[in-house]
Structure 1
């Protein structure tokens, strides 16, 4: 084993490039010595060729140091005319030079484009949103086609699955929906009466509670609860089946996964959400009536009579009319994200989170659009 060094020989005419001899063991144990030798090296541009005839040993540490000293591109150029270099060592130097060059290029790109990274990520998110929207629209079309085909074949309806899903979606969710909307109705009544009391119009709290729950809060709260509770369950159930290759087994048996797994959940959701919406409306108004009676002396009889006289029934139909649309989209999003699971527990968790976020976003977006539309129509 010999100490590594560099020997640079140049002709008398200094304008003519010289030869750089690589001597000794260019390995990791001699790294400090190599660094000192490289620090004394002449300008790389004055080197015409490399001489490896006295090279005793070479590893990736020595190759990387030589690439950093001469520059990756310069080293690759000089290796074409290098002498005394074994083929395996030539391959090592070329590979290390390529790796060092790519790392340096990535570092420069990251440093130069750091200010554009935020815009790049925003652009990627927008493109991803567009792709997910197209996938969702395609899946909605597939589900509608399957619904149309199954509607004319009652024997293909999976009544047992629909009833089981209806129990999980509607009956099991009734307590939480009723409790949540009851508390929200009480809060709205308390805040509304407190503010309206300053103008001597506390009795209009009844109109506020009735109007808000019949048109917006009833359907919105029930939909958000189902988006978080049921859409995530759909994704986790179907995603686990996808991860365990049960979906592939269903296809191998000649069955349609959409008809077998998606349609019963869609049917059950379309039936369940109007029920939960009605419960949410009633519970919210009961909560408001209770606060009005206990805190502000408004009797339940007065509360009901004013609701009947001041709130047209069209507000109830507007709120209930949104329920099937929201239910269909929530079910489609939950099932679609389950079918997109790639086969790991991490993928199941990611798509479950995505289904909840997408469902809530779609519900709020469509509710806002519907509110603007009904306002312009004067309904």
Structure 2
């Protein structure tokens, strides 16, 4: 069985969707799985443990990652895939390095590759620099990220402040020579003392070479793209079953991609913007108000999704709305409280935008395990959420940066 640890929920479903695309029956455990959860995961080909630690203090993140690694070992996983964002979202005080350091210890690995590349989503690494489309990371929209602004594109330089271990690089020319050459270079660098090796990757063929060269490694780290380097099993997995009911979109991300998705959806869907000040003044009252609004819209058109969002256009970001850490926490709390109320009112199909928002919604719904279904676009899949003591729901939990611009209006077509 393959096992992975993801630092947020959308990253977990992103990776799980890529594994499923290779023919692996994949599940996502939300949080460190209990003994009961582990028993239910044993029949899968791959399991991703989704943690909500991307913005957590390093000591908290490390403790949870260690627990998750031990749970995966109990399932029989011999390789741990340490999954973080493909844009390496993290400040110099961030926790990507400390988590990887802890997993080196837990797995007994002497070294690990660092592969944030995800070419299908426009993330590539060339000469050690991470690109978003044609732009180096520090010249991409990520340079203005409200919580983790990225001011450097060299992955090794981003990682070094977070770890005491040496970091090396492998250029794409070695990758293009083939898996044997890459394996030999990784072994040489490990013998010279490197514990992390940033490997260039420009396309999925490069990811396939890296995946083969590290097939026996106890630990690999990166974005979800490396999963696409696995050879396909040849197995065809059918779509998940749609749970009949009402539909809603909950968008808590401030990313430019989500802003564009919100703007496109407002042309077609009934929509309401979260009033952060009103939520601060009366959180329970705002949940009641949003629920009543949604029920009124469903009464008018039962099959039409409703859209609740926090940031709708760049002016909102410029004014600082819903993008500070405190305001983001308020929005996450609102969606965590609103989601189960919507579900109780008959909403069984939810599209959620934003990593932190997705984690909050999943917690609010008390989802224990996600079964991964059909892929909508790179990094975005339909899921079935298994709730504790309640009926199942269909979910899309997407990173703020992912998904087509029309996702909020077209996702339902793929669910049926």
Q: In proportion to residue count, which structure has more strand?
A: 2
The two structures have a TM-score, normalised by structure 1, of 0.21
- Larger RCO (CA within 8 A; separation ≥ 6): 2
